Amino acid sequence: MNHNLLIKGFLVLAILICTQTHVWALNNHQPSMQEEVILQWNRVLMETILTPGQHPATIMPVRSYAIMHAAMFDAVNSIEGSHTSYLTDVPGSQNASIQAAAAQAARDVLVGLYPTRVAIFDAELAVSLQGIEENRAQQGIRVGQIVAERILSVRATDGWNAPPPAYLLPATPGNWQPVAPANAAAAFTHYPSVLPFAITSPGQFAPGPPPSSKTAGSPRTDS
């Protein structure tokens, strides 16, 4: 047999084998990349809020997101020290795992807000801690626990979970009134008294009052 022809035959066979092996690998690939810790806990919170009966109807979900992400930020920043803390700074070893710190902070915050889902949060935490060296994980866990405890303590009396007071105004021009056909009552009427997350007070950027109906012409009658 021609020597060159034999070599070409072996090359073609090798290419076919490699191609089929690659196709098999693609079809049977199982993702090994661990879910990014911030995105993981954002998903966990979203799933919790979407679960019927878990989130109170009178509290906007953004509060839970703000508390959890602020806790994760302070936990990571306590280790890296690259930014000004949001609420608290926990002195700790630079060898601590920032992933463990963020995950533990998120887990503890969510347990405080949604205590009936502890088992789910613990399972997610176990996933977050996979592959982290034990000593580094424990140091990060300690930081996350302290940060979560402090922010939950501050937010326990922030007014977001207060019962909304009735909002009833005289039916005179310029005053808000329920609109047909639902004639629904005003919602989130307790917000003027809540503790904000970034601004100094609920009214810091509130606009001034509207012009008086006595000086601004006839009141509008359209809806």
Rounded CA separation 61/114 (Å): 12
**Over 50: is that where the pLDDT of 32 sits?**
no
Structure-token pair, residue 64: 């839970």
Rounded CA separation 157/194 (Å): 9
Could you give phi then psi for residue 73, rounded to 5 degrees? -60, -50
Which residues, other chains included, contact 105 with Cβ-Cβ below 8 Å and sequence gap of 6+? Answer: 68, 71, 72, 74, 75, 143, 144, 145, 147, 148
Across the chain, what does the average pLDDT equal? 83
SS3 assignment, position 70: helix
pLDDT tens-digit series, residues 138-186: 999 999 999 999 999 999 999 998 888 888 888 888 788 888 898 888 8
Kindly write down the DSSP assignment for every residue of 54-73, as one continuous string. Answer: TS-TTS-THHHHHHHHHHHH
Task: Give the start-to-end residue ranges of the domains of the chain.
Answer: 62-81+95-157
Residue with more model confidence, 157 or 191: 157
Q: Residue for token digits 């930014």?
A: 83
**Over 80: is that where the pLDDT of 33 sits?**
no
Rounded CA separation 151/71 (Å): 7
Would you state the pLDDT for residue 113? Answer: 97
Task: Answer whether 0.95 is exceeded by the pTM.
Answer: no
pLDDT tens-digit series, residues 90-114: 987 779 999 999 999 999 999 999 9
Structure-token pair, residue 187: 């919602």
